[in-house]
């Protein structure tokens, strides 16, 4: 049994192949610049060097065909025939209140995803395009939707309701939904392993910081509150999204500049955040370089982003009655020591203290690290997320009929013996060049 996972963005397609018989991921990669000149595929097979091939991909259909061709290729492939693929898992960002767990896709569910596109206009449309393209290219296998909002369905009413007319919730479903659910699920389960605790007796604050960013309060292993809301716009400062702001501001600017609702929505989602502050950058690496050269707006963006994360850490610590650990994940969270330091500095009064040297060293996506100081009462972990692994195990559970919500379903990565061979091999190569990384590895506690 082989499972293909697909994560379609507006101009990208992440994919991986999981071999159930060998219990390991055998290949992974990404097609980038879909619909843009210069599209290409990055492809990595367990134990082999990464391959990059340029190939025109005007739509997601061509991108999926390119992935299939690469997987079948005699020299680079990991499958001999499409019949080896037992199921396909797709990321779907917004499931509204309709989906509390992953589901098998049919025409009815696909239509529901289209209806929800207005709630996640940057994500659901490419998700649907990718599903339709994959179903056309792979018509003889079951396709499953892995819901980004499902993890947050455990939030209490007091967390997910807004102080707006209640009839808006009843008529339009206006409430906090939260996103990055598959990432939070994986990281929460792994953090419990590193703490040596029952996942449902563990309190965590998880910061998923990438171009899109959100933070999650986890109380007794369940999502209790999260920073993204009705749409992915609310909460932390992001690459191009504004995050929290006075909701009267867009109304004021609409009147002053005669902007339509569509135009102001575009500004808030695509021209704000880090880009809005710096007026140049969305990539935090570019921001840090510019700040180092004296660019005042870039320096301001760094301070603002760190401060926003810090405020949420403090608020969520209070909300859940204290955290066992604060965890950083996703691109910036995994490789951005400056953002992490800014987010945690001054929180020693809460028992939160990082080791600056360990924090600076932690820039890998191939190993779980601990960056808290030895006398920190609250652990600080950097855990590389693995949404594709969640996809795979949900798909396998659906195929076998054993799948259920995460409170009733056990994942392999919840076990202390869990290993990711591709990451282990990649980390060995990193370790050979930088042996000091061994000192920051997060160790799984010995079973008593």
Helix axes 181-195, 387-400, angle to 10 degrees: 100
Instruction: For residue 20, give every residue at least 6 positions away whose Cβ sits within 8 Å of its Cβ, in sequence order, or none.
Output: 1, 2, 3, 86, 396
Handedness of CA 152, 156, 157, 158 (dihedral sign): negative
- Which residues are registered as beta bridge partners of 17? 4, 27
Q: Which two tokens stand for residue 158?
A: 């007091």
HSE, side-chain direction, 13 A CA sphere, residue 184: 34
Q: Catalytic positions, please?
A: 148
- How far is Cα 240 from Cα 283, in angstroms, rounded to an integer? 10
| Cβ(412)–Cβ(193) below 8 Å | no
- How far is Cα 164 from Cα 176, in angstroms, rounded to an integer? 12
Segments in 271-325 forming alpha helices (H): 273-278, 284-292, 296-319
For residue 363, count other CB atoms closer than 10 A to its CB: 15
Q: Which two tokens stand for residue 110?
A: 């696909």
Q: Which two tokens stand for residue 73?
A: 């290729």
- How far is Cα 315 from Cα 319, in angstroms, rounded to an integer? 6
- How far is Cα 425 from Cα 278, in angstroms, rounded to an integer? 38
Q: Which two tokens stand for residue 374?
A: 């030895």
Segments in 258-410 forming alpha helices (H): 261-270, 273-278, 284-292, 296-319, 330-335, 337-344, 356-361, 387-400
- How far is Cα 176 from Cα 160, in angstroms, rounded to an integer? 4
> Measuring CA to CA, how many Å separate 86 from each of 129, 250, 392?
21, 48, 11
- How far is Cα 233 from Cα 183, in angstroms, rounded to an integer? 18
Instruction: For residue 336, give every residue at least 6 positions away whose Cβ sits within 8 Å of its Cβ, in sequence order, or none.
Output: 209, 284
For residue 406, count other CB atoms closer than 10 A to its CB: 24
């Amino acid at each position: 049994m082989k499972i293909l996972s697909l994560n379609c963005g507006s101009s990208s397609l992440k994919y991986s192949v999981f071999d159930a018989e060998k219990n390991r991921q055998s290949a992974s990669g990404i097609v980038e610049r879909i619909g843009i000149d210069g599209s290409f595929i990055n492809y990595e097979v367990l134990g082999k060097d990464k391959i990059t091939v340029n190939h025109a991909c005007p739509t997601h259909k061509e991108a999926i065909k390119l992935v299939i061709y690469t997987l079948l290729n005699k020299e680079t492939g990991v499958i001999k025939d499409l019949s080896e693929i037992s199921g396909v898992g797709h990321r779907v960002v917004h499931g509204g209140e309709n989906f509390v767990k992953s589901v098998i896709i049919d025409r009815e569910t696909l239509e529901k995803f289209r209806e929800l596109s207005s709630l996640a206009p940057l994500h659901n449309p490419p998700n649907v395009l990718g599903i339709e393209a994959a179903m056309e290219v792979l018509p003889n296998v079951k396709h499953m939707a892995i819901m980004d909002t499902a993890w947050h369905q455990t939030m209490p009413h007091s967390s997910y309701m807004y102080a707006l007319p209640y009839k808006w919730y009843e008529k339009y479903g206006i409430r906090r939904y939260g996103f990055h659910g598959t990432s939070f699920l994986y990281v929460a389960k792994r953090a419990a392993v590193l703490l040596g605790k029952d996942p449902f007796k563990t309190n965590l604050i998880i910061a998923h910081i990438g171009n899109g960013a959100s933070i999650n309060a986890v109380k007794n292993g369940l999502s209790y509150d999260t920073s993204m809301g009705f749409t992915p716009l609310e909460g932390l400062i992001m690459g191009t999204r504004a995050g929290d702001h006075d909701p009267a501001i867009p109304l004021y600017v609409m009147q002053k500049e005669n902007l339509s609702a569509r135009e102001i929505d575009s500004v808030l989602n695509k021209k704000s955040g880090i880009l809005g502050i710096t007026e140049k950058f969305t990539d935090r690496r570019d921001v840090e370089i510019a700040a180092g050269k004296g660019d005042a707006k870039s320096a301001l963006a760094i301070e603002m982003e760190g401060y926003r994360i810090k405020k949420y850490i403090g608020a969520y610590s209070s909300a859940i009655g204290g955290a066992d650990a604060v965890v950083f994940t996703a691109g910036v969270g995994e490789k951005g020591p400056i953002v992490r330091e800014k987010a945690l500095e001054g929180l020693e009064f809460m028992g939160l203290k990082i080791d600056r040297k360990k924090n600076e060293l932690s820039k890998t996506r191939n190993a779980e690290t601990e960056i808290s100081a030895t006398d920190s009462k609250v652990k600080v972990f950097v855990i590389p997320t693995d949404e594709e692994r969640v996809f795979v195990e949900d798909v396998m559970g659906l195929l076998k009929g054993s799948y259920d919500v995460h409170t009733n379903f056990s994942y392999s990565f919840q076990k202390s013996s869990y290993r990711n061979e591709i990451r282990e091999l990649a980390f060995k190569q990193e370790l050979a060049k930088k042996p000091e990384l061994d000192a920051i590895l997060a160790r799984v506690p010995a079973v008593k």
